[in-house]
Amino acid sequence: MTLFWFIKYIEDVFFKHSCLMCSCTIKEQPKLCEICLLDLPKLSLPKKGVNLLLRPDINRLFKKVKFDSLFAALWYQEPNSIWLSKLKFNNKIYFRHVLIQIIQSQINIASKHENWIWPDMIIIMPLHTRRFSMRGFNQVEQVWREALLTLPGFDRSLLTEEVLKRTKYTKAQTNLNAKQRHKNISSAFTVKGDVNGKVIAIVDDVITTGTTINEVSDCLKAAGANHVLAWATCLTPLQK
């Protein structure tokens, strides 16, 4: 932890809470003030409905789409890309509160729309047991579990565990091309629970080409799922 973050952490714990970005004083936990929250590269809803695939600029990101609907909170850009990677690779849980705040704020906006549907089941993208024991935590779960469970009126029974397993140990997708990504993730998941006829949301941290979410969607639909909704913290914008 750098000296700056250490001082900020001590300040927040013992003296006052300040905005993670502008340092103005705020009432709660290490979070963002309302102005900084507004300034982030959040994803606004399409003109009709809540499915981000209806936005042409977002639809263009994916060559194939096997899932039925997409919700994501942010573009994968600074500063949030830094928060996500610090959380994922260094377990800096300091950033968890901020990501939870942003996700809740975006769900609150989307869920007020008449086209929003709550699924029958929400599955957090599982890690392979080997990856989990190396990392010690699932970074998607760290953020999304609390984000959902502390949403007012959220039905806790929607969050399901043990339904989807990652049964093949795969390389990180980041440095692979499209063909390699597909081969790497192919047959990586196994459905262990009853998903027949259900609407299922699968939650991930960053969606880039959609290869992993597509593979999960195929797997869930082969097991009888009716609809698969992809939910993510971030979408990676097209490289210019």
For Zn ion, the binding residue among 1, 10, 13, 22 (CB under 5 A) is 22
Taking the least distance from each CB to Zn ion, the nearer of 36 and 45 is 36
CA-to-CA dists, residue 218 to 23, 26, 155, 187, 224, angstroms:
45, 44, 26, 10, 10
Q: Which of residues 26-45 bind Zn ion (CB under 5 A)?
A: 33, 36
CB of 20 to Zn ion, least distance (A): 7
Note whether 102 binds Zn ion by CB under 5 A: no
Q: How far apart are CA 201 and CA 120, in angstroms?
A: 8
CB of 102 to Zn ion, least distance (A): 13
Alpha helices in the chain (DSSP H): 3-10, 34-39, 56-59, 80-90, 96-111, 129-135, 139-149, 178-185, 211-222
- DSSP secondary structure string, 176-237? --HHHHHHHHTT-EEE-S--TT-EEEEEEEEESSSHHHHHHHHHHHHTT-SEEEEEEEEEPP
Binding segment for Zn ion among 22-30, 42-50, 151-159, 182-190 (CB under 5 A)?
A: 22-30
CB of 8 to Zn ion, least distance (A): 13
Taking the least distance from each CB to Zn ion, the nearer of 21 and 151 is 21
Taking the least distance from each CB to Zn ion, the nearer of 80 and 211 is 80
Taking the least distance from each CB to Zn ion, the nearer of 33 and 99 is 33
Binding-residue total with Zn ion (CB under 5 A): 5
CB of 35 to Zn ion, least distance (A): 6
User: Considering Cα of 190, then 195, then 199, then 203, what sign does the dihedral take?
Assistant: negative
Binding region for Zn ion (CB under 5 A): 19, 21-22, 33, 36
